[in-house]
Amino acid sequence: MTSKKLVNSVAGCADDALAGLVACNPNLQLLQGHRVALRSDLDSLKGRVALLSGGGSGHEPAHAGFIGKGMLTGVIAGAVFTSPAVGSILAAIRAVAQAGTVGTLLIVKNYTGDRLNFGLAREQAQAEGIPVEMVVIGDDSAFTVLKKAGRRGLCGTVLIHKVAGALAEAGVGLEEITKQVNMVAKAMGTLGVSLSSCSVPGSKPTFELSADEVELGLGIHGEAGVRRIKMATADEIVKLMLDHMTDTTNASHVPVQSGSSVVMMVNNLGGLSFLELGILADAAVRSLEGRGVKIARALVGTFMSALEMPGVSLTLLLVDEPLLKLIDAETTAAAWPNVAAVSVTGRKRSRVAPAEPQEALDSIAAGGSASKQMALVLERVCSTLLGLEEHLNALDRAAGDGDCGTTHSRAARAIREWLKEGPPPASPAQLLSKLSVLLLEKMGGSSGALYGLFLTAAAQPLKVKTSLPAWSAAMDAGLETMQKYGKAAPGDRTMLDSLWAAGQELQAWKSPGADLFQVLAKAVKSAEAAAEATKNMEAGAGRASYISSARLEQPDPGAVAAAAILRAILEVLQSQGV
């Protein structure tokens, strides 16, 4: 079965993609009749060397994303994973020559089709009297034994674009640029790994991987790698990649060792999430620095992709200060990242957090009877939520991402860990404030934020008094704040429904002579009834409101959890005979 692609046609997808890039970038122009993009200010390059690159489409943002002042002059694009036509390459060379450039350097990735087509175009242009040189970039570090074809051209080619572009912008001549670029290319290596293949528009995936396999050392055209390894953690995968890249018995290794200074590229091969990319970048930094390697610059993003391939490549380029200046030189290329000209290694990566404000001394000693009672209540709440984890997750799967029980269990475990540190504050206001901070930090999700808001607001009336009317006022304050920021109202099928029903019953505490247990018992029953009633409600807030019809057959898990918390509090207080 062919994969789904958002294209107008398979045949025209490369043309449409390049047209879209040019349409959105005033600094680029298309060369009529060819799949070629050029700088729109070609006339400003008179007397300088032009830089042309390219290859098959499907590697975006390479190569056209790197056209701009300080990088490429133009790009010739082929069909997906197909070398561009000789005629288009020659047309691009003629176009930059007519603009008054003093020579053209072709930067070509080491693939047979690219070498042949760019090479033929070069020969024809030279026959016309146009000065043209060509560098073939092979930075692949996958093969332990080099074959006749040599190392494949991978993401390191982008660094060559940058170095050559900076030299050209500085007015360096064609021969010198060619010489320096060839030297830089020898100090570079790239290795890729992928979780699965990619698929050319109109075709099936190029290879298959089982669920527990990862492809190591693959290229950028969907071809299989040098070997398959078992799925492992990001740290383990990165270590394996760096071990392979720097192994001196590997004929294509990059000579990085302790004391080396490098530019590191962490390149998304197209389908990896940014979350995974960040994890891999962190693993690479830690692993390299652990080997005594200095990371002078780190580039993380999508530079040279293989369509939607969910994988990553690591590139290491050995650098000195003169080469770093070329990497840091200004460019207007849209796909080049805004990298600070500061070493990654040696930089302070964290800041001390502000100290918590000093609290007023608790008028009731922690560890006293009130504090012990608070601990009993919290322990019962924790055991209740932990026991409900699977049930709440099951309810949440109907309307959300199925993690409501997990979120509440995370809060319960955090509270238990906190209780191990010592007795809780006996002051209700301080207790609620502490719990608020704890849940905001540890619980996560919208539930953590809502409970945190509720408890923060509820603590305020209890700073002055802890009478029954004050507890009722605390409930009112918590509910008001929860509605203010959560935007839910009673009847919207959320946790607010249970709490609101309980809050209405707790209004009775404001009357003289109100009975603690009678009112609280009625509040708990009302909360439980409200939670059950949410199954008949249409969701008006929260994730469930986005579901078609927004009417579900199960009660809201947040409302169920809130009612269960209130039930746990009541049962402990009744057992203690408060």
Binding residues for substrate: 56-59, 109, 114
Q: Within 10 A of 548 (CB to CB), how many other CB atoms are there? A: 5
Task: State both tokens at 565.
Answer: 């918390």
By C-alpha distance, which of 546, 450, 462, 441 is closest to 498? 450
Write out the H or E segment, with its range, that includes residue 410. Answer: helix 404-420
Distances (CA, A) of 406 to 64, 286, 386, 394, 401: 46, 31, 9, 11, 11
| Residues assigned a catalytic role | 221
Burial of 291 (0-12, 13-18, 19+ CB in 10 A): middle
By C-alpha distance, which of 155, 121, 126, 151 is closest to 52? 121
By C-alpha distance, which of 115, 162, 155 is closest to 135? 115
> Which residues in 391-416 are b (16+ Cβ under 10 Å) and which e?
ebbebbebbbeebbbbbbbbbbebbe
Task: State both tokens at 438.
Answer: 């704890």
Q: Write down the H helix ranges in 230-320.
A: 234-246, 274-290
Q: Within 10 A of 243 (CB to CB), how many other CB atoms are there? A: 12
| DSSP state for residue 460 in the 8-state scheme | T
Distances (CA, A) of 375 to 187, 356, 362, 430, 572: 63, 23, 16, 14, 10
